[in-house]
Structure 1
């Protein structure tokens, strides 16, 4: 029986032309050979399996070739090329720095450099995994690397460039190898399958290329494995079974269930995924990648970012047309939150199931935003009567209109009523202002009027999703973009304090302290200014601005409310003076006091 040679060795590129996906490297090297501008040291760095050592060997063979072609490729027929192919070349030396990383190994290499080549122009030294050299070995190698003999060329290869000393990097021409594109890997696998008479499906080769993550050697290893597993018939089903990959069909089917709000089918499908041996974290990451692909597939300009086969690309485009943008963005947010909390959760399966249930209710939340008057489920008669009574009471109580200050009278600052956790500032500016106020200098707008915005474009918040998922679907009535009900400052303070208490219950103590330290200032009937003392408070307010604006607009029935912040100077806090400081102050005003103290031999108690 013949010895089997793996495809990664059997089809290793022998010329620059056959190197896959590194045209920017091979083109530069061929031009350097053509122009006779070869550096004394090269550094090839990049991920594993992208062709660093292969390009180093091809460069070494081409440099010593006696009859290179017009395209600067080795002839593969001269004595130097044949000796290299047979492994008997005395001009090309390879050193594995992973196992030969001591000072003695480098000194032995330096001794060999002193011997000129017996045949050919150059002696080439290829040092693989050069980052494994010790500190002393690097230092011993510095001088030789900087000023080698004219016939010596060093080619260093590494996967971890950051571990190499800067003094070594400065002496080399650095070539960064890229990860090989999925299309290039799948095309190369198709060529090998044709040479080996292996039947294949393009979708199967595409999955192998994606799983390889830019490494051609990994792709070839998986190719050999699946070819043996499937009896030289590489199908899509054989690839996903052998590599333990979640099928695309799971995610397409799951997205249909999520958009239709079918909670039971969603949970059963997730249970089937777990029973097939897949991890919940991999599942939620795969679902997030699926949503990302759907988002990319919505715009023809971004279709090239879909690294999938043509058949799968058509499925993505079809499902992207049927899925709303608001659903995809909210679902991506939920999947990301689930991924962040997965490892720290004690019940990891429940973490994923909760995220899936919330995704099922995304469309319901969007429907509530579009039709605030309609409830998803009819409330009980008692709840409806209570709501009607509250609405009638609100409608009958007239709101105090906003009054402009008189031109002749000075504005009087009215103190708001005492409310718990909301002390009124002593130096509070007047709350009335001219009808057309200018934005305070240095303030950052965190809320803008959204009267002309389209409600369906709003993205549901996680709070709304939790409320709907918990069955609290008769939440506060949503206001539309045309609602502009007037409100009083006392009503604003009452809602302000309620929201602050809710923040305190949720553990957001920093924002609670900010909101309860300074009372909001009503500059105009719809412009609220929050006083802050530093940048940290500004960032806290900005992070909470969306939820705060939604709460105030819904509670005050006014969609024109704006919120901005204005930085104020920190108040000077009076401190207690010591007895020594008090005595020094009095003695400075009355010098005879010090004379009296010395005459009577008195001491100042500290």
Structure 2
């Protein structure tokens, strides 16, 4: 009769740490425990707290092994490096040691369950050095259960140790916390997780791209168990080739509904450029590829945060970051100030909240990004206060001086349409300058963005495209020039004509001119240019 095949063990169970060397990301705790064991300063109760999957229960089991290990020769004492081969070590690892009792507080919440422990601690361990009680999710115990445990917890027999684990330490009474030695297990850094996953796939005889492991490590959010579960799913999702399965970054993104980093960078660029049609098209394109709207908002938040860190001078390089991404972050950080970055963050964060709770997530995502796009180009409160003091606030919709756009942050950009005309003349673009002066009405001027209307057609192609290209050549910044509806300021020529008309009317209204016209009704005013040494 052939042996039945061994049932498959998920990676999260198969690769649980068997000793403290395999417990990744918790070096400070391991050092403290090692020192306490070597010096014989062992607490009677330990509390492990941290987010899911960082190793709280695994640490409790390792402590149980460390305290009860007798070594390969059967003569050893407590050690931070249990042998793993003696009977206590093997029995604890297999969950069958009679003196190591594990209890799930979520299903044993009452005082009767705790009373059983209190009665049992009076008796010595059967075969181990210490009788150990591991209580998982200890915060789930009832108030009466905690109260019943307090006296025993404070003065337990010398042969008893309590090991508690919880994800919500704030729910554990202070009276219990004060009786325990507390260890806060940290989130495991993504770099350590990616390295750990690389060892796992090698042991599993599976091939995986570095970017794929980096994506899984980031999605794990500091949890080794979550990461191993995602890796398990990614291996199952991988296509079988001639050799081992190959886990690719593209497959991981598709599986997790993540957006490609390059696509997120393009989205942020479109938001900053103010290109409404292209932005909506890009959002729908990502949605059609299976990317969740919430993942898009989160990707944009992470990108703005990364730009801000670069702006602050912090090195955020990681193995999964491409050269293109580093270049884009550096460029945005150099062009944008802290104020617009903070405004972008707040607007995106608000949009993330709306998308998370929306009945129509993709529509909510589109509306949130449109709001971000338009609000990001508004002056900040300090700039508005300055403009109010200077009396220039009303000039913004037309062509008055405004602060540099958050998308560029460049103080050297022309501040109004007249400055653009002068710049074009300097660049020997007289026809373009004259047309801008005579035939263009400005709806919105916010460098490097211009929304305009034409009073007549430009005979040399697309005026907006031509103007944008020439301004980019002249200033080194990318300009967004487009036609727009709505109210617009008069063209510079129309403003000039209006000014001349007001001047003419004022002259006709003077007493001297009125007297001349009364004497000579057929007379008219002839404008004569002032003399100039250049003429």
- With over 3 angstroms needed to count, the CA separation of the structure-2 counterparts of 1:6 and 1:281, relative to structure 1, is closer
Asked whether 1:303 is paired with 2:315, we answer yes
CA-CA distance at 1:6 after TM superposition: 0.6
Are residues 1:294 and 2:298 paired? no
Give, in whole Å, the separation in 2 of the partners of 1:265 and 1:295: 25
What is the number of equivalent residue pairs in this alignment?
Answer: 393
Counterpart of 1:45 (choices 39, 46, 49) is 49
Call closer, same or farther: CA 1:74–1:353 in 2, change over 3 Å.
Answer: closer
- Distance (whole Å) between structure 1 residues aligned to residue 414 and residue 266 of structure 2: 29
Offset at residue 79 of structure 1 (A): 2.5
**Residue number in structure 1 paired with 2:364:** 348
The answer to whether 1:62 aligns with 2:70 is no
**Contact 1:201–1:235 under 8 Å retained in 2:** yes
**1:258 Cα deviation after fit:** 4.7
Q: Name the CA distance, whole Å, in 2 between partners of 1:89 and 1:327.
A: 61
1:254 — aligned with what? 267
Deviation of residue 118 (structure 1)? 2.4
Question: Is 1:110 aligned to 2:118, yes or no?
Answer: yes
In the TM superposition, residue 348 of structure 1 has moved relative to its aligned partner by: 2.4
Alignment check: 8 A CA contact 1:13 1:54 kept: yes
Structure 2, unpaired ranges of 5+? 378-404, 421-434, 443-474, 493-535
Is the 2:67–2:79 contact (alpha carbons within 8 Å) kept by the matching residues of 1?
A: no
Matched, 1:320 2:329: yes
Aligned partner (choices 265, 288, 291) of residue 275 of structure 1: 288
The offset of 1:383, in angstroms, is: 7.8
Is the CA contact (8 Å cut-off) linking 1:97 and 1:132 kept in structure 2?
yes
Which SS does the other structure have where 1:126 is aligned? strand
Distance 1:154 1:268, change over 3 A: same
**Aligned partner (choices 193, 202, 213) of residue 210 of structure 2:** 202
Q: Partner residue of 2:236?
A: 228
Counterpart pick for 2:28 among 6, 18, 24: 24
CA distance in 2, matches of 1:205, 1:473: 53
C-alpha RMSD over aligned residues: 3.4
Q: 1:99 aligns with which of 82, 103, 107?
A: 107
Query: Is the CA contact 1:338–1:351 (under 8 Å) kept in the aligned structure 2?
Result: no
Shift of the alpha carbon at 1:367?
6.9
Deviation at residue 269 of structure 1 after TM alignment: 0.8
Quick check: 1:131–1:161 contact (8 Å CA) kept in 2? Answer: yes
1:357–1:469: 8 Å Cα contact kept in structure 2? no
TM-score using structure 1 length: 0.59
Of the structure 1 ranges 267-276 and 215-224, higher mean CA displacement relative to structure 2 is found in: 267-276
Structure 1: distance between partners of 2:407 and 2:211: 36
Residue 328 of structure 1 deviates from its aligned partner by 7.6
- 2:164 aligns to what SS in structure 1? strand
Offset from partner CA, 1:42-94 (integer Å, 9 cap, x none): 11111110001101101101101112599731112223223323433122111
- 5+ unaligned residues in a row in structure 1: which ranges? 385-455, 457-464, 478-606
Q: Give the secondary-structure state (helix, strand or coil) at the position aligned to 2:156.
A: coil
After TM superposition, the structure 1 = structure 2 runs for residues 176-195 of structure 1, keeping only pairs within 5 Å, are: 176-195=184-203
d(CA) in 2 for partners of 1:374 and 1:356? 26
Decide whether the 8 Å contact of 1:69 with 1:75 is kept in 2.
Answer: no
What secondary structure is seen at the aligned counterpart in 2 of 1:75? coil
